[in-house]
Structure 1
Amino acid sequence: MVLHVVIASVAALAGRSVPSMALPKKRERAAPVVSAASSAMQMQPAPINPDWIIAGEPVARMADHSKSADRAAYTALWDCTAGTFRWFFAWDETVHILEGEVHVTAEDGSVHMLRTGDVAYFKAGTWATWRVDTYVRKVAFLRRPFPAPIAFAYRLKNKLLPAKTPTL
């Protein structure tokens, strides 16, 4: 019971800190399944912030694939030519390398070589240096992190209540 009161209080507090916005009168229903051949997706220029470029002239492009109705999750296709640059991950991001490779140096100095088929996770709020020797193409799965009070309540709930295994 106390846990429910804590969670409700945190949710109410978080709700007050989120600016209210008018909702559209008619909401579009999101498709239950969104699929597309990556080779058929229309790539658009997605320039890297010039202040982040360390070496070379990397050219990045991306194609939107899908986003959740609450705009907290997003999937995109992204590619980049040769160059070295810093990248700020504003959202949690999981990448799957489809083609090419990239040398990634994390803030802690660890170096990761990501090649075709590799999957990597980048925590929101972190920087990494990317060195693309020739070309890299990835699919990116992005998730907006919860606001701190909600994340705290969620972690607390997970510690106090046993996890339920999802059924497939």
Structure 2
Amino acid sequence: MKVVTRMELGDCMVLKLMLASMAAFAVRAAPVVALPQSKNFVAGSAGEMEMKPAPIEPSWIVAGAPVARIAEHSRGQDDAALTALWDCTAGEFRWYFGWDETVMILEGEVHITTEDGVERMLNAGDVAYFAGGTWATWRIDRYLRKVAFCRKPFPKPLTMAYRLRNLVRQGGTQGLAA
């Protein structure tokens, strides 16, 4: 009869977590319906994209009467990623980021205050990241135009499984938060 050591048991658990994370990734990455070949590459001029109204939730508006519009550029086959062009007139509002969002300011400037008090002004050419599940206050003095790259965050257990997998791959050289 073989005695199972703690190390072997730990290796087994790591293997199970890795397999579960790979299976979850495969399910998430598998397209539900095959898209036509032309959808595998999307390109176009920002000036030709049709901007549609994207009203800001009225209870989020702090000052002014900001008017926002959006044009969806592309969406991932698994609906977990989205790229869009967004613009807004002057005003101040709180914004809830339901997805992770990276923005690049194309035109104008915006004064950002995060929920933990960090203040920053973003100008044309600046890139910023906002974690999903957070709030920030946006103050636009004139006009703002940005491109937004949005991604649905993985569920926490799956995120921890990926981090654990990376920790094992790197031989413990980085912590779980890496």
Tell me the TM-score range normalised by the shorter chain.
0.7 to 0.9
Task: State the match for 1:56 in structure 2.
Answer: 64
1:97 pairs with 91, 105, 108, which one?
Answer: 105
Task: State the match for 2:137 in structure 1.
Answer: 129
Task: State the match for 1:18 in structure 2.
Answer: none
Q: Distance in 1 between the 2:22 and 2:46 partners?
A: 38
Residue 91 (structure 1) shift: 0.4
Contact 1:80 1:136 in 2 (8 A): yes
Which of structures 1 and 2 has the bigger CA Rg? Answer: 2
| Structure 2 segments unaligned to the other structure (5+ residues) | 1-10, 26-30, 171-178
| Structure 1 segments unaligned to the other structure (5+ residues) | 16-22, 163-168
Residue identity (%): 56
Contact 1:102 1:133 in 2 (8 A): yes
Residue 5 (structure 1) shift: 1.2
Map 1:145-160 onto structure 2 (within 5 A): 145-160=153-168
RMSD: 2.1
Instruction: State the TM-score, normalizing by the size of structure 2.
Output: 0.80
Q: Distance in 2 between the 1:66 and 1:11 partners?
A: 26
Q: Distance in 2 between the 1:129 and 1:10 partners?
A: 35
Secondary structure of the residue aligned to 1:88 is strand
1:40 pairs with 26, 33, 48, which one?
Answer: 48
Task: State the match for 1:28 in structure 2.
Answer: 35
Contact 1:11 1:150 in 2 (8 A): no
Matched, 1:114 2:122: yes
Contact 2:21 2:162 in 1 (8 A): no
Instruction: State the TM-score, normalizing by the size of structure 1.
Output: 0.84
| Bigger helix fraction | 2
